[in-house]
Amino acid sequence: MVRSTRSKLSSNKPRQVRDAEATKAQIIDAAEEEFAKHGLNGARTEAIAKGAGITTAMIYYYFQSKEGLYKAVLQRPAIEMYQMLQQLNLDQLPAEFALKKAVRAAIAYEAAHPQRGMLWFQEANQTQGKYFKQGNWQETFAHIIKVLERGMAEGSFRQLDPLMISMQIAGVCTFYFNAHENIKHLTPDVDRLSPEMIERYTTEAVNLILAGVRQQK
Protein backbone atom coordinates (compact mmCIF):
# COMPACT_ATOMS: atom_id res chain seq x y z
CA MET A 1 0.00 0.00 0.00
CA VAL A 2 1.43 3.32 -1.07
CA ARG A 3 0.84 6.44 0.92
CA SER A 4 2.17 9.93 0.49
CA THR A 5 3.84 10.98 3.68
CA ARG A 6 4.86 14.43 2.62
CA SER A 7 3.24 17.18 4.63
CA LYS A 8 2.46 20.38 2.82
CA LEU A 9 3.61 22.28 5.90
CA SER A 10 7.15 21.09 5.82
CA SER A 11 7.78 19.88 2.32
CA ASN A 12 9.65 22.83 0.88
CA LYS A 13 11.56 24.67 3.56
CA PRO A 14 14.56 23.16 5.28
CA ARG A 15 14.07 23.12 9.02
CA GLN A 16 15.75 25.47 11.47
CA VAL A 17 18.73 23.95 13.25
CA ARG A 18 18.67 22.73 16.84
CA ASP A 19 15.70 24.62 18.24
CA ALA A 20 14.01 22.23 20.61
CA GLU A 21 10.70 24.08 20.93
CA ALA A 22 10.35 24.60 17.19
CA THR A 23 11.15 20.97 16.53
CA LYS A 24 8.64 19.76 19.09
CA ALA A 25 5.98 21.99 17.53
CA GLN A 26 6.79 20.66 14.05
CA ILE A 27 6.49 17.10 15.28
CA ILE A 28 3.11 17.84 16.85
CA ASP A 29 1.89 19.57 13.68
CA ALA A 30 2.87 16.64 11.50
CA ALA A 31 1.50 14.19 14.04
CA GLU A 32 -1.85 15.96 14.25
CA GLU A 33 -2.28 15.54 10.52
CA GLU A 34 -1.24 11.90 10.55
CA PHE A 35 -3.27 10.94 13.63
CA ALA A 36 -6.34 12.76 12.29
CA LYS A 37 -6.17 10.74 9.10
CA HIS A 38 -5.20 7.36 10.46
CA GLY A 39 -5.83 7.29 14.20
CA LEU A 40 -3.42 6.02 16.83
CA ASN A 41 -2.90 2.56 15.35
CA GLY A 42 -2.98 3.50 11.71
CA ALA A 43 -0.61 6.44 12.01
CA ARG A 44 2.99 5.70 11.02
CA THR A 45 5.80 7.19 13.03
CA GLU A 46 7.86 7.26 9.86
CA ALA A 47 5.22 9.39 8.15
CA ILE A 48 5.16 11.78 11.10
CA ALA A 49 8.96 12.02 11.10
CA LYS A 50 9.04 12.71 7.39
CA GLY A 51 6.32 15.34 7.73
CA ALA A 52 8.28 17.07 10.48
CA GLY A 53 11.58 16.71 8.65
CA ILE A 54 13.30 14.69 11.37
CA THR A 55 14.06 11.08 12.16
CA THR A 56 11.73 8.79 14.09
CA ALA A 57 14.17 8.74 17.00
CA MET A 58 13.28 12.37 17.75
CA ILE A 59 9.73 11.32 18.51
CA TYR A 60 11.06 9.13 21.29
CA TYR A 61 13.58 11.74 22.38
CA TYR A 62 10.82 14.29 23.00
CA PHE A 63 7.68 12.24 23.59
CA GLN A 64 8.91 8.85 24.91
CA SER A 65 6.46 6.85 22.79
CA LYS A 66 3.95 6.99 19.98
CA GLU A 67 1.22 7.12 22.59
CA GLY A 68 2.98 9.96 24.39
CA LEU A 69 3.01 11.94 21.18
CA TYR A 70 -0.66 11.12 20.66
CA LYS A 71 -1.51 12.54 24.07
CA ALA A 72 0.46 15.71 23.33
CA VAL A 73 -1.41 16.11 20.05
CA LEU A 74 -4.81 15.77 21.71
CA GLN A 75 -4.02 18.27 24.42
CA ARG A 76 -3.73 21.22 22.08
CA PRO A 77 -7.23 21.35 20.52
CA ALA A 78 -8.84 20.71 23.89
CA ILE A 79 -7.16 23.79 25.35
CA GLU A 80 -7.70 26.00 22.30
CA MET A 81 -11.38 25.20 22.00
CA TYR A 82 -11.90 25.98 25.64
CA GLN A 83 -10.12 29.33 25.35
CA MET A 84 -11.97 30.29 22.19
CA LEU A 85 -15.32 29.86 23.87
CA GLN A 86 -14.27 31.86 26.91
CA GLN A 87 -13.39 34.81 24.73
CA LEU A 88 -16.80 35.00 23.09
CA ASN A 89 -18.49 36.32 26.25
CA LEU A 90 -21.75 34.75 25.20
CA ASP A 91 -23.42 35.58 28.53
CA GLN A 92 -23.37 39.27 27.81
CA LEU A 93 -25.32 39.06 24.56
CA PRO A 94 -28.98 38.43 23.78
CA ALA A 95 -29.48 34.70 23.22
CA GLU A 96 -30.18 34.97 19.54
CA PHE A 97 -27.06 36.99 18.85
CA ALA A 98 -24.98 34.81 21.16
CA LEU A 99 -26.00 31.68 19.27
CA LYS A 100 -25.22 33.33 15.96
CA LYS A 101 -21.80 34.33 17.23
CA ALA A 102 -21.07 30.87 18.64
CA VAL A 103 -22.03 29.15 15.39
CA ARG A 104 -19.87 31.51 13.35
CA ALA A 105 -16.94 30.99 15.72
CA ALA A 106 -17.33 27.23 15.74
CA ILE A 107 -17.35 27.00 11.95
CA ALA A 108 -14.40 29.41 11.71
CA TYR A 109 -12.50 27.22 14.16
CA GLU A 110 -13.24 24.11 12.10
CA ALA A 111 -12.19 25.94 8.94
CA ALA A 112 -8.89 26.94 10.55
CA HIS A 113 -8.27 23.33 11.71
CA PRO A 114 -10.16 21.17 9.22
CA GLN A 115 -8.56 17.96 10.45
CA ARG A 116 -9.39 18.28 14.13
CA GLY A 117 -12.92 17.00 13.91
CA MET A 118 -11.62 13.73 12.58
CA LEU A 119 -8.96 13.66 15.27
CA TRP A 120 -11.78 13.82 17.78
CA PHE A 121 -13.79 11.09 16.06
CA GLN A 122 -10.74 8.84 15.80
CA GLU A 123 -10.11 9.32 19.48
CA ALA A 124 -13.71 8.46 20.31
CA ASN A 125 -13.84 5.33 18.24
CA GLN A 126 -10.40 3.92 18.84
CA THR A 127 -9.68 4.65 22.46
CA GLN A 128 -13.18 5.33 23.83
CA GLY A 129 -12.27 8.94 24.39
CA LYS A 130 -9.92 8.06 27.23
CA TYR A 131 -7.37 10.74 26.38
CA PHE A 132 -9.90 13.46 25.86
CA LYS A 133 -10.53 14.74 29.32
CA GLN A 134 -14.23 15.22 29.24
CA GLY A 135 -14.09 18.48 31.16
CA ASN A 136 -13.24 20.69 28.24
CA TRP A 137 -15.91 19.20 26.03
CA GLN A 138 -18.49 19.36 28.72
CA GLU A 139 -17.61 23.05 28.90
CA THR A 140 -18.09 23.44 25.18
CA PHE A 141 -21.56 21.98 25.17
CA ALA A 142 -22.39 23.71 28.43
CA HIS A 143 -21.83 27.08 26.75
CA ILE A 144 -24.27 26.32 23.95
CA ILE A 145 -26.79 24.71 26.27
CA LYS A 146 -26.73 27.79 28.48
CA VAL A 147 -27.47 30.06 25.53
CA LEU A 148 -30.33 27.83 24.42
CA GLU A 149 -31.84 27.75 27.91
CA ARG A 150 -31.53 31.52 28.20
CA GLY A 151 -33.26 31.96 24.84
CA MET A 152 -36.12 29.76 25.99
CA ALA A 153 -36.43 31.74 29.21
CA GLU A 154 -36.34 35.04 27.31
CA GLY A 155 -39.05 33.74 24.99
CA SER A 156 -36.95 34.27 21.87
CA PHE A 157 -36.42 30.50 21.37
CA ARG A 158 -39.16 27.87 21.19
CA GLN A 159 -39.34 25.00 23.68
CA LEU A 160 -36.60 22.51 22.80
CA ASP A 161 -34.24 19.93 24.29
CA PRO A 162 -31.02 21.92 24.84
CA LEU A 163 -28.58 19.00 24.92
CA MET A 164 -30.03 17.34 21.83
CA ILE A 165 -30.17 20.59 19.91
CA SER A 166 -26.62 21.51 20.92
CA MET A 167 -25.39 18.21 19.48
CA GLN A 168 -27.29 18.85 16.29
CA ILE A 169 -25.74 22.29 16.08
CA ALA A 170 -22.34 20.66 16.50
CA GLY A 171 -23.27 18.34 13.64
CA VAL A 172 -24.09 21.28 11.39
CA CYS A 173 -20.88 23.11 12.27
CA THR A 174 -18.56 20.15 11.76
CA PHE A 175 -19.99 17.97 9.00
CA TYR A 176 -18.70 20.07 6.13
CA PHE A 177 -15.12 19.65 7.33
CA ASN A 178 -15.27 16.13 8.67
CA ALA A 179 -16.84 14.89 5.46
CA HIS A 180 -14.81 17.12 3.18
CA GLU A 181 -12.91 14.24 1.61
CA ASN A 182 -16.24 12.56 0.92
CA ILE A 183 -18.24 15.49 -0.40
CA LYS A 184 -15.57 16.97 -2.59
CA HIS A 185 -16.39 14.25 -5.08
CA LEU A 186 -19.95 15.60 -5.35
CA THR A 187 -18.79 18.81 -7.03
CA PRO A 188 -15.20 18.19 -8.16
CA ASP A 189 -14.86 21.55 -9.89
CA VAL A 190 -15.54 23.71 -6.81
CA ASP A 191 -13.00 24.30 -4.03
CA ARG A 192 -15.22 23.73 -1.04
CA LEU A 193 -12.62 25.03 1.40
CA SER A 194 -12.24 28.44 -0.26
CA PRO A 195 -13.17 31.43 1.92
CA GLU A 196 -16.18 32.19 -0.28
CA MET A 197 -17.60 28.67 0.02
CA ILE A 198 -17.00 28.59 3.77
CA GLU A 199 -18.76 31.92 4.17
CA ARG A 200 -21.67 30.55 2.18
CA TYR A 201 -21.81 27.46 4.36
CA THR A 202 -21.64 29.65 7.46
CA THR A 203 -24.46 31.91 6.33
CA GLU A 204 -26.70 28.97 5.50
CA ALA A 205 -25.85 27.30 8.82
CA VAL A 206 -26.71 30.42 10.82
CA ASN A 207 -29.97 30.82 8.92
CA LEU A 208 -30.94 27.18 9.38
CA ILE A 209 -30.13 27.07 13.08
CA LEU A 210 -31.60 30.44 14.00
CA ALA A 211 -34.81 29.74 12.09
CA GLY A 212 -34.81 26.27 13.63
CA VAL A 213 -34.80 27.43 17.24
CA ARG A 214 -36.61 30.78 17.01
CA GLN A 215 -40.00 31.23 18.61
CA GLN A 216 -42.68 31.75 15.94
CA LYS A 217 -44.75 34.87 16.32
Give the residues lining the site for DNA (CB under 7 A): 1, 5-7, 9-10, 15, 17-20, 23, 41, 43-46, 53-58, 60-61, 64-67
Closest CA to 99 of 175, 172, 32: 172
Q: Given the complex with DNA, which of 55 and 187 has the nearer CB atom?
A: 55
Spatial separation of the C-alpha atoms in residues 101 and 97, rounded to whole Å: 6
Spatial separation of the C-alpha atoms in residues 128 and 111, rounded to whole Å: 25
Residue 169 CA from chain centroid, whole number: 14
Residues with Cβ < 8 Å from 130, sequence gap 6 or more? none
17 binds, among its own copies, DNA, none (CB under 5 to 8 A by kind): DNA
Least separation, in Å, of the C-beta of 74 and DNA? 16
Q: Given the complex with its own copies, which of 92 and 182 has the nearer CB atom?
A: 182
Q: Given the complex with DNA, which of 34 and 110 has the nearer CB atom?
A: 34
Spatial separation of the C-alpha atoms in residues 160 and 68, rounded to whole Å: 42
Least separation, in Å, of the C-beta of 213 and DNA? 45
| Phi, psi of 9, rounded to the nearest 5 degrees | -65, -45
- Contact residues toward its own copies (CB under 8 A) are 1, 3, 36-44, 118, 120-121, 123-126, 128-129, 132, 134, 137-138, 141, 158, 160-161, 163-165, 167-168, 170-176, 178-187, 200-201, 204-205, 207-209, 211-214, 216
Least separation, in Å, of the C-beta of 57 and DNA? 3
18 binds, among its own copies, DNA, none (CB under 5 to 8 A by kind): DNA
Q: Given the complex with its own copies, which of 39 and 53 has the nearer CB atom?
A: 39
Least separation, in Å, of the C-beta of 62 and its own copies? 21
Closest CA to 104 of 194, 208, 202, 197: 202
95 binds, among its own copies, DNA, none (CB under 5 to 8 A by kind): none
What Rg, from alpha-carbon coordinates, does the chain have? Answer: 20
For residue 23, give the H/E element and its range.
helix 20-42
Q: Given the complex with its own copies, which of 18 and 185 has the nearer CB atom?
A: 185
Q: Given the complex with its own copies, which of 154 and 204 has the nearer CB atom?
A: 204
DSSP state of 216: P
Spatial separation of the C-alpha atoms in residues 113 and 122, rounded to whole Å: 15
